[in-house]
Every structure is written in structure tokens, then in C-alpha cells.
Amino acid sequence: MFELQAIRNMQKSNQLTSTSFESLFSTFLEEKLDNHIKQTLQNLNVSKKLDPSLSLSNLHGTNKVSLLPMATKEPLQTLTTTGEGKYNHYIEEAAKKFNVDPKLIYSVIKHESNFDPNARSHAGALGLMQLMPATARGLNVNNVFDPKENIEGGTKYLRQMLDRYNGDVSLALAAYNAGPGNVDKHGGIPPFNETRRYVPKVLSTYLSI
């Protein structure tokens, strides 16, 4: 009996130790990523344009990370490079049509497909702005591999997300990546590793242009 009780006590102790270690390790990782995000924004010298509450916990919690104010809608002439600049005309057309900053559209394309009009993701997203087939149909995009159609459809969807979240760019980007249902469900940027990485990366590119 005493031996059995001792074994149970040892098992409980090991479970507590394991749980404590996992909790500490998780906290350590979040702090490291949080510091990395802040350092990136400091290096870009744009932190003053973001809500000062920017942190990893806020990125996937209920607090918002808004741009204050929205970046000015300047032409993308300075971004004209081989492979990327040739889509600037389509980006600026879509930006004007749907009232979205062209630099935000550019940043989304940069991280969605790196300007590959034939890009396909493992999840089935297609084209420059990585539209899912069902989403593309809902946006009246007939050919997702046509750069003009894809950019127009992706920009229209981005506009819908911006309207849905009252202009909050971080939530709009999270919804673009993970779907608005997940943003609504979690009351903010959902705690998905991909989305946690995606939002600050796109924001960093957007604010550095």
C-alpha cells in the first residue's frame, strides 16, 4: 500500500513538473517572438505609426493593432523592379476602384505569392493574391491566374475585410489569412502560428514602403 501511494505521488509530481516546464517554455517562446516583432518595427523606424500596445499577446488576443492613420495612397513607382513592378498598374487600378492603399495590396501579394501569378498553395489558394476557388467565385473572378482579375478580386476581398473590421488593418489581414469566421470566433487575431507570423510580416512590409 505504501509503495503504491509513493508511486502515485511520484507520478503527480512528474505531471506537475512537466506542466510547469511546458508553461515556462511557451512563455519564453512568446517573449522571444514578441521582442523580435518589436525589434523589426524599430529597425524600420515605423513603430510610432502603430498602436503602442503592439505585442504578441495583443496580436492574437482581443486588443487590436491598428494603423494610425492609414498610409497615404502614393503611386508604386519606387517599387518598380523586375517581376514585381509589372503588376503596379493593376494594383493601382484596383486600389482606386476599391479605395485601398496600393502599398497594402502590394504587401499582401508580396507575402502571399511573392508575385508569382501561377502560385498554388497546399491548401488550394491560387494566383497572386492566393484566392481560394470558392472565394474567387464569390468575387466574380473567372480566371484566378489572370493577374488583373486576381488582383482586382483580392483587393475587393481585402476591402470587404477592412469594412467588416472598421478599417482595422491588422484584423483585416488576419481575416484575409485565416478567414473572418476565425477572427470573430477568437475576438481578434486567432492564435494560429501562421496567422501570428503573417500579420506582423505584412504590416512590416507595408510600413517600410
Which CATH number covers residue 173? Answer: 1.10.530.10
Q: What confidence score (pLDDT) does residue 200 get?
A: 97
Q: Are 144 and 152 in contact (CB under 8 A)?
A: no
Return the C-alpha torsion angle 32, 36, 37, 42, nearest 10. Answer: 140
Sequence-separated (6 or more) residues with CB below 8 Å from residue 26: none
Residue 38 domain flag: no
Q: What confidence score (pLDDT) does residue 105 get?
A: 97
What is the domain extent for residue 181?
A: 83-208
Q: Locate all alpha helices (DSSP H) within 125-190, ordered by sequence.
A: 133-138, 147-164, 169-178, 180-186
Q: What confidence score (pLDDT) does residue 48 get?
A: 34
Q: Are 124 and 118 in contact (CB under 8 A)?
A: no
Residue 74 domain flag: no
Instruction: Quote the crossing angle between the two packed helices 102-112 and 193-208, to the nearest 10°.
Output: 140
DSSP 16: H
Q: Is 78 helix (H, G, I), strand (E, B) or coil?
A: helix
* Cis before 69? omega within 30: yes
The 10 Å Cβ neighbour count of residue 176 is: 25
Residue 21 domain flag: no
Catalytic annotation, residues: 112
Q: Are 37 and 199 in contact (CB under 8 A)?
A: no
Number of H helices, E strands in the chain: 9, 0
| 141/150 Cα distance (integer angstroms) | 7
Residue 11 domain flag: no
Entry pTM:
0.67
Q: Are 170 and 59 in contact (CB under 8 A)?
A: yes
* Cis before 117? omega within 30: no
* Domain count across the chain: 1
Ordered per-residue pLDDT tens for the chain, 209 residues: 444 444 444 444 444 444 454 555 455 555 655 555 555 555 544 433 443 333 333 443 333 444 433 444 555 655 544 456 889 999 999 999 999 999 999 999 999 999 999 999 999 999 999 999 999 999 999 999 999 999 999 999 999 999 999 999 999 999 999 999 999 999 999 999 999 999 999 999 999 98
131 φ, ψ (degrees, to nearest 5): -85, 135
